[in-house]
Structure 1
Amino acid sequence: MGNKASMQLQQEEITDIQTETGFSSNQIVRLYSRFTRLDKNNRGVLTREDFLRIPELAINPLGDRIVHSFFLESQCETVNFKQFMSVLARFRPTKSKEIKNKLNTREEKLKFAFRMYDLDCDQKISRDELLAVLHMMVGDNISEEQLNSIADRTIAEADEDGDRMISFEEFKKVMERVDVEQKMSIRFLN
């Protein structure tokens, strides 16, 4: 995928992405068009700066964390279209009769959400990490005392092993009653 003129998706690539992500070929082509518009350098990859030009991410209090998630899996400074689609697949809405793709399962959606809070990537959410994310989400709309209280209560309720942190298993248990499949879906992909 070189410059924009030569950056055409081949049917084989579409089929491969479709199999991996569960998106329809029409959705893949539409998202590819958006991807190429974001690729200001015409290199076939996106940088963090490219993502931050997306208005919805720029105004989202967790925009930096969402952008960060695109780069977690690739461990690189750029994301190609296939990597872009793999992350987006976690936000693909599913219909009840539809077969879920491996990236679109409840477990994968929960892992993605967990990583939003696990700022140091140590597989645990500490009180400080929880507090930092709460700050990102609410800014100065609630007092420091209230935020500390929310963080303390959340840790106390979720922490089953007494280490004052939330593991992924503890996080999953807390999220049992949350409709993650609906809350973590982007409707523009329909």
Structure 2
Amino acid sequence: MGANTSKLPDQDIRDYQDLTYLSKAEILRAYKRMQEEVAKAGRDPHQPTNMYLTFKEFHRMKEMEFNPFADRICHVFSSKGDDCLTFEDFLDMVSVFSESASKSIKTAYAFKIYDFNDDGLLEETDLAELIRRITNPSEISGLRSDEIYEIVRFILLEADLDENKYISLTEFELVVSKSPDFVKTFCIRF
């Protein structure tokens, strides 16, 4: 990793390998990537207390700058609930978005990311926000509100099996199970 990069202890690497879907090389790459971003933020990346990213710093990463869900990703993976990512939070996120993560793990985290009000359900407002973020990235063009809610009604008609006006995690898992490309599309390489 070079003379300017502090070393991640071997025991930590083994522990991280046991707790994630990542190889040693992927863990070291994530560590180096985090150090680069910490340095860009003006903090010393060799000090363990500096190994965090604020949402603003996270959003500036080239992998996130155009992601319409960057704020939600940061929020979901922030262990302290402060929308800052520690190295362990960042590693958890990299693990979930890796090609090695299971479909069930990816599905559970996708559900959390799309659950904008954090109530454990995908309701009309969550689905509308999801559609808005996908179709109106520039806010200049895209779908009108009535068009968005027409799509929401269709989604609920197809996915809300018990007709209670929201999609549960179980129902979401069923929808995702019918999408063979979901695992491929829910990957980000850091």
Give the TM-score of the pair, scaled to structure 2.
0.83
Counterpart residue type for residue 181 of structure 1 = V
- Give the C-alpha shift of residue 105 in structure 1: 2.1
Q: Distance in 2 between matches of 1:45 and 1:124?
A: 29
Find the counterpart in structure 2 of residue 50 from structure 1.
57
- Give the C-alpha shift of residue 138 in structure 1: 0.8
Q: How many corresponding residue pairs?
A: 174
- Give the C-alpha shift of residue 77 in structure 1: 4.4
Q: Distance in 2 between matches of 1:35 and 1:126?
A: 35
SS of the residue aligned with 1:107? helix
The answer as to 2:132 corresponding to 1:138 is: no
RMSD: 1.9
Find the counterpart in structure 1 of residue 124 from structure 2.
127
Deviations 1:155-180 (A, max 9, x none): 12111222101111111111111133
Find the counterpart in structure 1 of residue 47 from structure 2.
none
Deviations 1:18-52 (A, max 9, x none): 11113121221121111011112231112112101
* Superposed counterparts of 1:32-111, under 5 Å: 32-39=31-38, 40=41, 41-42=43-44, 43-71=50-78, 73-94=79-100, 104-111=101-108
Unaligned 5+ segments in structure 2 are 45-49
Q: Distance in 2 between matches of 1:62 and 1:6?
A: 30
SS of the residue aligned with 2:63? helix
- Give the C-alpha shift of residue 11 in structure 1: 0.7
- Give the C-alpha shift of residue 6 in structure 1: 8.3
User: Cα distance 1:119–1:69, how it changes in 2: closer, same or farther (>3 A)?
Assistant: same
Q: Distance in 2 between matches of 1:86 and 1:66?
A: 11
Give the TM-score of the pair, scaled to structure 1.
0.83
Q: Distance in 1 between matches of 2:135 and 2:125?
A: 15
Q: Distance in 2 between matches of 1:149 and 1:34?
A: 42
The answer as to 2:10 corresponding to 1:11 is: yes
Unaligned 5+ segments in structure 1 are 95-103
Q: Distance in 2 between matches of 1:178 and 1:44?
A: 37
Find the counterpart in structure 2 of residue 99 from structure 1.
none
Find the counterpart in structure 1 of residue 25 from structure 2.
26
